[in-house]
Amino acid sequence: MKWMLEPFNETEKRPLYVRSMVKKTVEKDIKAQVRNEETLKDGRKGREKNISFAEGNEKPVQEKIAIVRCETVSEVCPGVACFKAFNKKKLHFKEYGNDTEIIGFFTCGGCPGRRVSRLVKSLIKHGLTTVHLSSCMMLDSDYPPCPHIEEIRKSIESKGLKVVQGTHH
């Protein structure tokens, strides 16, 4: 795909994660039209279509958090209690102000938490500050507590992030 200078420069002004999303979208659309050159109009259309919802009106946010939960437990839990506790700023979320955003909610990917490091890394680009390990990883009830929680916690902390063990218990 040949990128013209003007749209290329326009796209390069965006943050890295936005840049790659716009490029992929534009290239897909152009291929569908059996063309191989990208114009400024294509670039703007791609941005409008896919990422404009996430741009502009950015308020300063104190904390951006993500929740990691157990892959096995996720088969029986849609995560309602984690979200309720966060929305009401209760239990392990009680220290946060109303300007705190939840920017990620994902399962660990199965033992020994194989997806955690990769997804945390990708959220750092979006301003992630703190990761909560869901209460399901610590409870000893229908499922045993996670035997890998220490490695998971250390791998997140090694990226310079704060880790909180718990969400709604």
State which residue, 100 or 167, has the beta carbon closest to ligand SF4: 167
Buried b / exposed e along 140-161 (16+ C-beta atoms within 10 A): eeeeeebebbeebbebbeeeeb
Handedness of CA 22, 101, 124, 151 (dihedral sign): negative
Cα separation, 88 vs 61, in Å, equals 17
Instruction: Give the three-class secondary structure for 9.
Output: helix
- At its nearest, how many Å lie between ligand SF4 and the CB of residue 166? 13
State which residue, 47 or 69, has the beta carbon closest to ligand SF4: 69
Handedness of CA 84, 133, 128, 107 (dihedral sign): negative
State which residue, 22 or 70, has the beta carbon closest to ligand SF4: 70
Note whether 81 and 74 are within 8 A (CB).
Answer: no
- At its nearest, how many Å lie between ligand SF4 and the CB of residue 139? 11
- Alpha carbon separation from 82 to 11, 78, 97, 144 (Å, rounded): 37, 9, 17, 19
- At its nearest, how many Å lie between ligand SF4 and the CB of residue 16? 29
- At its nearest, how many Å lie between ligand SF4 and the CB of residue 74? 9
- Residues 139 to 168 in contact with ligand SF4, rule: CB under 6 A: 146, 148
List 65, 70, 82, 119, residue binding ligand SF4 (CB under 6 A): 70
Number of residues interacting with ligand SF4: please give it, by CB under 6 A. Answer: 11
Closest residue to ligand SF4 using C-beta atoms: 146
Note whether 33 and 66 are within 8 A (CB).
Answer: no
- Residues 96 to 135 in contact with ligand SF4, rule: CB under 6 A: 108, 110-113
State which residue, 58 or 75, has the beta carbon closest to ligand SF4: 75
| Interface ranges with ligand SF4 (CB under 6 A) | 70-72, 108, 110-113, 137, 146, 148
